[in-house]
Structures are given as structure tokens and as C-alpha cells.
Amino acid sequence: MKQEIAAFLDYLANTRGSSRNTIAAYQNDLNQLADFVASEQAKGLLTSQEELLLAYLVHLKGKGYSQATSARKVASARSFFKHLVETGKLKENPIRNLVSPQVNKKAPRVLTQAEYAQLLAIPRSMSTPESRRDVVMLELLYATGLRASEVVSLQVSDLDLDHASLFCRQGNSRRKLHLTAEIAQLLREYLSNGRLDLLYDEREAGLFLNRRGHQLTRQGFWQIVKNYAERAGLDDRVTPHTLRHSFAVRKVQSGTDLHALQQALGHAYISSTRVYKQPLSSTK
């Protein structure tokens, strides 16, 4: 099984373009499954794959994992065996009928449009190069649902403003996101003015720069958002991820298909996207 797992991980990295974190999670889950199956097969008590995998589910419960962790491990196994079927290595998925543990996820914390305007008003009221950069970053995140790490890792070369789009780096590949005309124009103005005010080295390729002219870090961006949220009188737990959640909820409310939203958000599992169908949780 270890060879099949290695091939599956290679498929995730080079064909699906999955992130390193996603691949690491699959690797951990599937290696645990392979070790369990090998151990049980050595005992000779269970013979069929179905019996082994049902025993694995019982084993997970006995390990004291949370329902969310157990559900993720089952989902990893299901995706792995589905891939084996699609590549002709198995005739059918041995856990096609296995029921995953039920997970009751909390509805994501989101900002209302009024709260977002309240947040954005803080950097807009300032005239520093950093505040002008921050307006662009907030507007981009709120309009696309990018992760904070994806926003700060953007390179100038990732933008295709002539076609109102950008390419988001994810693992060994990039996914394309379409931009509104307003966001494309905002980025165009930032490149022509705001970024130049922070640029010290023409060789710097990062899109969003700190006051020293280097690419902004994820931690730096999180602190920026938290500071603005505090000054705006919002919940101090508002983070860049709150804006990502807000984007996703708006898309669901406007009728966006969950699979399209999954692709936009870069989720590995559709179960991660379904949480946005739950009732909202405001920041108040």
C-alpha cells in the first residue's frame, strides 16, 4: 500500500497542485492507515479490505481522536481509494458505503457589509504608504476569499490585470482567480503608486511590501487586521480569515455553487466548504 500512497501523493502535488499542508495531512493519515492494515493482516484475523477498513474506523474511535479528526482521516482514505479506482488499480472503492463520523462545525464568524466598511474606514482615513497598501490588501481579500498566506505570497508577476485576473500559488501549481473591474483598477493604481512608495530594491518581486521594502509576512498581515479591527471597535478576534469567511458566505447567499466555491477557496474537501451553508455567526 505504501507504493500506492506515494503515487497518490505525487498525483496531489503535481496534477492537483495541492498545498504542502494538504499533502502532509494526507501523508500522515494514509501512512497511519497503511500501518494499521499491515498490522491487522499480519494477525490473519481479518481478510477482506472492507473488514480491515471497518476495523480501522473502530481503531480511530479507540485512539480518542475528535470526530473532526476521525472524519478527516476517513475522507483521506476515501479519496485515496477513489483514486485507485480511477487509475484502474481497484475495481471498486472498498469504503464507498462507509459512513464518516458526523462533525458539527461551528458556523464561521463573518463581518456584515456595514462592519467591513467600518474596518476599511480606518486605513482609508490615513495617508501613509502602509495604509494605502492595507486598503488594497483588505479589498482584495474581501473580494476573493484568499488565505492570508496566499495574499502575502503574491508576486507582481501573478497579476494579469489586462484580463482582470490573478494566479494564486498553491503547492506546485497556481489557480486562476477572476477579479472585478474595481479590484483590478485598485491593483493597477497600487502598482503605479502605492507599491513604489515602499519599494527600495527593484529586484523585489513581492506584491505587498513592508516599510523596509521586503515582502510582507503572514504574521504581519494578521497583526495589521487585528489593529484596525480594534480601532474600529470590532471584535478583537477579527482576522484575515474572518474576511475569507465573509467572502464565502456572501457567495453562498448569492447562489454560487458549492463546488465552484470550493475551487475558489482552494479547499481540499467539499466538507470544508459546506460549513458556509450553516447559519451565520456575526462578530458581535
State pLDDT tens for residues 248-274: 888 777 777 777 777 777 776 666 666
pLDDT tens-digit readout, 130-151 = 999 999 999 999 998 888 888 9
Q: C-alpha grid cell for residue 64?
A: 480518542
Classify 127 as helix, strand or coil: coil
Long-range (24+ apart) CB contacts under 8 A made by 3-7 are 4/80, 4/84, 4/89, 5/30, 5/31, 5/34, 5/80
Topology classification of domain 109-282: hpI Integrase; Chain A (1.10.443)
For the segment(s) 2-86, the CATH number from 1.20.120, 1.10.150, 1.10.490, 1.10.3470 is 1.10.150
Structure confidence by residue, pLDDT tens digits, 75-121: 888 888 888 888 888 887 777 666 655 555 555 678 888 999 999 99
Cα–Cα distance measured from residue 193 to residue 204, given in angstroms and rounded to the nearest whole number: 16
pLDDT of 80 reads 86
pLDDT score, position 163: 93
What's residue 236's pLDDT? 66
90 Cβ contact list (under 8 Å, min separation 6): 81, 84
* Distance from C-alpha of 33 to C-alpha of 262, rounded to nearest angstrom: 26
| Residue 109 near residue 245 (C-beta atoms within 8 A) | yes
Separation CA 78–CA 264 (nearest Å): 23
Task: Give which of 89, 189, 100, 98 is closest to 140, Cα–Cα.
Answer: 189
Q: Rounded CA gap, 245 and 94, in Å?
A: 35
Residue 28 pLDDT > 60, yes or no? yes
**Residues paired with 170 in a beta bridge:** 173
What's the CA angle centered on 115, arms 111 and 117, to 5 degrees? 120
The packing angle between helices 67-86 and 2-11, to 10°, is: 90
**What confidence score (pLDDT) does residue 116 get?**
92
Say what the pLDDT of residue 46 is: 57
pLDDT tens profile 186-236: 999 999 988 999 999 989 999 999 999 999 998 999 999 999 999 999 876
**3-class SS string, 46-94:** CCCHHHHHHHHHHHHHHCCCCHHHHHHHHHHHHHHHHHHHHCCCCCCCC
Name the segment(s) of the chain with CATH classification 1.10.150. 2-86
CATH 1.10.443.10 in the chain, residues? Answer: 109-282
Quick one: cell of 110?
Answer: 463573518
Calpha distance 90→66 (Å, rounded): 30
Which pLDDT does position 278 carry in this prediction?
60
Which has more pLDDT, 33 or 184? Answer: 184
According to the model, what pLDDT value does residue 101 have?
56
Residue 35 is predicted with a pLDDT of 86
For residue 39, name the pLDDT band (cuts at 50, 70, 90): confident
The candidate with the shortest Cα–Cα distance to 214, out of 190, 231, 195, 186, is 195
CA distance 137 to 130: 10
What is the band of 172 on the pLDDT scale with cuts at 50, 70, 90? low
Is residue 244 very low, low, confident or very high in pLDDT (cuts 50, 70, 90)? confident
Among 44-58, 121-135, 151-165, the minimum mean pLDDT is found in 44-58
Q: How far apart are CA 1 and CA 112, in angstroms?
A: 48
**More confident call, 122 vs 173:** 122
Q: Which three cell numbers stand for residue 191?
A: 502598482
Give the pLDDT band of residue 30 (cuts 50, 70, 90): confident
Q: What are phi and psi of 62, to 5 degrees?
A: -70, -25
